[in-house]
Amino acid sequence: MTSVRTNKIYYRMKQPCDLELAISVMERRLAYICQGAGSLSGGLERINAAGGKRLRPTLAWICWRLAGAKNRIVPLMCMLELMHTASIIHDDLVDNALFRRGTVTISAKEGAQAAVQSGDYLLSRAMELLETYRGTGINEYLSRVSEIMSLGELKQQENLYNTAALSQEKYFDYINAKTAVFIAESCRCGALAASNDGDICDSLYNFGLSLGRVFQMKDDYTDLKIGEEGAKPKLSDLENGVITLPMIIACEKYGDILKLLLSKREKSEIEISYIAELLENSGALETTAEYIRREGKAAAEALDSLPDSLEKHALTLLAAEISEV
């Protein structure tokens, strides 16, 4: 199952069969891995079949093509998606999330123990694939990513409801760890699978780092933004004590009043509505939108040194689409 955005990339690259075939082979391998998990198979098959954006393996494939398309890419694509799915299974358990990708989470349906074991199983299967890329640097980069993501998630849990511990600088450190570095390494490792050209790999890493920041900032922005025709914001971050960029910016204007409300673990509907109103009136969402657009531009500029190609064009379009707010 592929995402709408992935299908747009197929179309704009005018080479649908290559990427579509790679995704299809990856999907079959993922399904086989999930089927082999014994008593855990049901939950894993459900989460895998729900799909998702498949952003990281798609980026890896495009960067692999850009760097010369030598050697094998599908094992890396599988590894990236296994690592990502394992991380969200564990995150859902920590966050007490009920749904993911439009289906009930493993922790909600099969229980906490199954969620821990499912995530660990997928990580172990991902590690089996590292042998394919020994000597390329991919093993070391992805091992480091796992460490960074784990520490980033731990830092978030430590700072829930803690407005005093966060600043814009710390927020960007956090989203780098939680999201951006993994996306950046998906790009760099895709290139490394084909080539050891340091300049290409560095440019694609920088592209992915900015793209990852855009991805996370937009998610945080959407959680708080009132939608079309007055649709209510999701406010899941607000209710769960996650302090995101719009809240940090709003606190710089409203100070102690907003900080006090955000730090409360139990908030009434009136308090949540008041916080949403303060956020809307503070200009924080507009400022966050400007940060998103600026980081999207930085992602495109990271590709400037690379020669023109369909792959470069696809990455540029992707950055523009994700940074639309």
Q: Given this model, what pLDDT does residue 233 score?
A: 59
Q: How many residues does the chain have?
A: 325
Other beta carbons within 10 angstroms of residue 155's beta carbon come to 15
Check: CB of residue 177 under 8 Å from CB of residue 158.
no
Can you give the pLDDT at residue 298?
A: 98
Q: How much is the pTM?
A: 0.90
d(CA 62, CA 39): 36
Beta-bridge partner residues of 99: 104
Report residue 53 as tokens: 């954006």
Which pLDDT score, from 0 to 100, does residue 7 have? 45
Q: What is the pLDDT of residue 227?
A: 59
> What is the pLDDT at residue 1?
36
Instruction: Please tell me the predicted confidence (pLDDT) of residue 12.
Output: 46
Question: 235: left (phi > 0), else alpha (psi -120 to 50), else beta?
Answer: left
Full set of structural domains in the chain with CATH: 1-134 (1.10.600.10), 140-325 (1.10.600.10)
Question: What pLDDT is recorded for position 229?
Answer: 46
**Could you list the mean pLDDT of each consecutive 10-residue stretch along the chain, which spans 325 residues?**
44 57 93 95 94 92 93 94 95 88 92 96 94 92 93 88 89 94 98 91 98 96 70 72 93 89 91 89 95 98 95 95 93
Q: Is the separation of the CB atoms in 85 and 53 below 8 Å?
A: no
